[in-house]
Amino acid sequence: MGIQSTYGLELHGLTPTKTVHWNLSPAELVEAAIRRGEGQLTKDGPFLAITRPHTGRSPNDKYTVREASSEADIWWGNNNALSETQFDELQRRALAYLNEREIFVRDLHACADPAYRLRVRLIDEVAWTNLFANNLFIRPEASDLGDFKPDFTILHVPEMKADPATDQTRTETVIALNLAKRVILIIGTRYAGEVKKSIFTTLNYLLPKRGVLPMHCSANIGADGDTALFFGLSGTGKTTLSADPQRGLIGDDEHGWGDNGVFNFEGGCYAKVIKLSPTAEPEIYATTRRFGTVLENVTIDPADRSLLLDLETISENTRAAYPIDFIGNAVIPGVGGHPRNVMFLTADAFGVLPPISKLTPAQAMYHFLSGYTAKLAGTERGVTEPQATFSTCFGAPFLPLHPTVYAEMLGRKLARHQAQVWLVNTGWSGGPYGVGNRMKIAYTRAMVHAALNGDLDNVPTELDPIFGLPIPVACPAVPAEVLNPRNTWADKAAYDQKARELAALFVKNFGKYKDQAAAEVIAAGPTI
């Protein structure tokens, strides 16, 4: 039994009839999870859970409660609405459900900067997601737990189902945020990423009101104190590029940029591990061999439970969740100064964007609002060739407010602190997916290091004629022919055609912002 807060479960309307476990240690949670049949230990110590049928987030099942205190602020064009009556009924049933089950309670913090700290309580029917949350959030000192009073509470009942007929929900899965009650319901999905992203969504609402820009990005810091940010959607390289042995890791996914600089929202990392390389990504790879790491949907060898990281048997979205101090050069606490450089990462599966380009302020706003990457063939049923994906601010599913709120904040901070923005394509070169090859991680790291070290500051550039992107003509440790994507294609006419196709998709997507964006930002997009 861990430390129990004097602010008990009665605070949440719970009167449990079975055992309640408070703030158990990782070893105790693993024991409980195995006892309850929630998963299994793998060969080198990590705990493995299978989350089927949900092996990823369910953005269409996310809801925000329409209530008086927040209704005028919410971007309802992006957020499904749930009435207070609907939420109250779902909460009533979730509490009744939890009262009849063994409960695991975890008290945690979000935000490494104490000035913005959010106290979070997870009330859970599952032991392994309690361990997941312990890994991903900031772990309070034992002295903080005795009188811990949560600011927000997550009721996590993955085995309970909503009833679409009576609850008027889209499916049996519900992730609902009630900003007035400060309660989050997660119903009908075992995928643990919903737990962490529910708090990220909450912070995306709360922090702009306090002058802090919440960001879907990783961050690291150099020996001389220079902070760098890495924005990007899943699979673009946020975790891989920020876990750099030459720089300290502030965090791999969620940060705030306030008056004092950058701070991590979390105390752990949530890395994609499909085809993880022990040579290209040694720091992350090592965490998949450590007790305390939580693995999701990884295939194992049934003979000895060794990991088969190259296989997509269960899902392409295989994950490892581990405390940030499992990375040897982690920065504790996760804070840094104002960034000098900002990287926008995209995995362009069309193979037409340059591997690195130096953006003007207007181009930075254009690409931030666009939030482009490409979905690969085979990752979803029916996807047979790359598909362009635009997720504004590199995180549309987590934005309660209109994207222009975040874009304008970013623009002001970039100007005030003179930060340089770079567009980095970690995707394909020499042709689209299926023809060309993925950009070598070693080349991408070299380009990022050159940008951070100032080695590209005075390098001449050539302008991409369609996207208007300034491409450096040389970069240390990178072959010159790699830098201009057109030069890597054997069929130059095919490149031109594919580039025009992608440019048209950018222009079509940005049409939704033509009434809000400044003229110079609109003009910073590609020319067709």
Quick: pLDDT tens for 304-359.
999 999 999 999 999 999 999 999 999 999 999 999 999 999 999 999 999 999 99
Bridge partner list, 251 = 219
- Give pLDDT tens digits for 451-503: 999 999 999 999 999 999 999 999 999 999 999 999 999 999 999 999 999 99
Residue 375, pLDDT score: 77
> Could you count the other beta carbons within 10 Å of the beta carbon of residue 151?
14
- The pTM for the full model equals 0.96
Tell me phi and psi for residue 415, to 5 degrees.
-70, -45
Do residues 322 and 292 lie in contact, with contact meaning Cβ atoms separated by under 8 Å?
A: yes
Rounded distance between C-alpha atoms, residue 458 and residue 65, angstroms: 51
Rounded distance between C-alpha atoms, residue 419 and residue 243, angstroms: 21
Rounded distance between C-alpha atoms, residue 193 and residue 214, angstroms: 18
Give long-range contacts, CB 8 A cutoff, 24+ apart: 207-212: 207/116, 207/256, 207/258, 208/401, 208/405, 208/406, 208/409, 210/116, 210/258, 211/258, 211/259, 212/116, 212/256, 212/257, 212/258
- Give pLDDT tens digits for 255-289: 999 999 999 999 999 999 999 999 999 999 999 99
Which residues lie closer than 8 Å to 143 by C-beta, 6 or more apart? none
At 92, list the tokens. 């009533």
Do residues 319 and 273 lie in contact, with contact meaning Cβ atoms separated by under 8 Å?
A: yes
Compute CA distances 189 → 31, 98, 110, 332, whole Å.
22, 16, 22, 32
Q: How far apart are the first and last CA of the chain?
A: 64
Predicted confidence (pLDDT) at residue 1 exceeds the cutoff of 90: no
Domains of the chain: 9-37+61-210 (3.40.449.10), 341-434+467-477+486-523 (3.90.228.20)
Bridge partner list, 104 = 21, 124
Residues designated as active site: 57, 197, 216, 234, 238-239, 253, 319
